[in-house]
């Protein structure tokens, strides 16, 4: 009987020691995940910036190479912003012009998104915390802190900068091809003013 009790006691102790030695992963704890951000993708995008709500598509073609085209609100509908080599150009129905003042707030927030995603994409693995299947990556930019989220498939699903009252959500993420070369006409300053009238003032969108 004593031998049996001793055997049971030894088994229980071994089980307890083995259980204690296993790492415990609590929700929100830092972890690693395979990095799938270093790819070309296109997604439906909703931008909430203070009172402005804008919808469109955004595409990543590589480090620093992005494109965003808006469907709403009407003041931005049809406007496309293209980013490459540290420069940004705007176009509307094939006509290119300097970025109008009305699009500057949205452009600035897109640059923040690009900086955060491109920075994460350069890493071999993503570092962050996981909660309910969503992997959260936090960081700091010159304009403030951010949270970049990817879903269980590794696709971008949201980007937030609370201090800037910014939240972007992404759906329908899919692989994208390199942008096609467009035949555009470079306009004179007078046309830029006309383009500004087409896009309107973003601050009035709300």
Q: What is the mean pLDDT of the chain?
A: 79
Tokens found for residue 86: 């540290």
Task: Tell me what percent of the residues of the chain surpass a pLDDT of 90.
Answer: 54
Looking at residues 77-100, what average pLDDT do you find? 87
In a domain, 2, yes or no: no
pLDDT score of 11 more than 80: no
In a domain, 161, yes or no: yes
| pLDDT tens digits, one per residue of 134-156 | 999 999 999 999 999 999 999 99
pLDDT score of 204 more than 70: no
**Which pTM does this prediction carry?**
0.74
Highest mean pLDDT among 12-26, 128-142, 167-181: 128-142
In a domain, 11, yes or no: no
What pLDDT score does 96 carry? 84
What pLDDT score does 205 carry? 40
Domain that residue 117 falls in: 30-204
State the CATH number of the domain containing residue 173: 2.50.20
The secondary structure of 132-193 as a DSSP string is TTEEEEEEEETTEEEEEEE-TTS-EEEEEEGGGTEEEEEEEEEE-PPPPP---EEPPHHHHH
The pairing of strands 52-62 and 79-84 is unpaired
Q: Which of 164, 55, 146 is nearest to 105 (CA)?
A: 164
User: Is there a contact between 66 and 117 (Cβ–Cβ < 8 Å)?
Assistant: no
Total domain count for the chain?
Answer: 1
Burial environment of residue 191 by CB neighbours within 10 A (0 to 12, 13 to 18, 19 or more): middle
| pLDDT tens digits, one per residue of 14-41 | 445 444 444 444 555 678 999 999 999 9
Q: How confident is the model at residue 97 (pLDDT cuts 50, 70, 90)?
A: confident
In a domain, 142, yes or no: yes
The secondary structure of 80-147 as a DSSP string is EEEEETTEEEEEETTEEEPPPGGGHHHHHHHHHHHHHHHHHHTSSEEEEEEETTEEEEEEEETTEEEE
């Amino acid at each position: 009987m004593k031998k049996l009790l001793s055997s049971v006691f030894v088994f229980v102790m071994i089980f307890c020691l083995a259980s204690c030695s296993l790492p415990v992963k609590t929700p929100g704890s830092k972890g690693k995940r395979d990095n799938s951000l270093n790819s070309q993708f296109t997604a439906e995008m909703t931008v909430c910036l203070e009172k402005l709500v804008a919808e469109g598509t955004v595409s990543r073609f590589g480090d620093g190479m992005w494109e965003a085209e808006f469907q709403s609100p009407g003041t931005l509908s049809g406007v496309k912003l293209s980013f490459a080599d540290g420069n940004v150009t705007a176009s509307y129905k094939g006509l290119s012009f300097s970025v109008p003042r009305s699009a500057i707030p949205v452009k600035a927030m897109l640059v923040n998104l690009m900086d955060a995603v491109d920075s994460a994409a350069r890493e071999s693995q993503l570092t962050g915390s996981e909660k309910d299947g969503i992997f959260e990556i936090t960081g700091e930019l010159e304009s403030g802190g951010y949270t970049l989220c990817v879903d269980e498939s590794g696709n971008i699903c949201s980007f937030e900068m609370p201090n800037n009252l910014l939240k972007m959500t992404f759906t329908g993420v899919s692989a994208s091809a390199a942008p096609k070369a467009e035949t555009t006409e470079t306009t004179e300053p007078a046309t830029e003013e006309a383009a500004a009238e087409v896009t309107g003032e973003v601050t009035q969108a709300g």
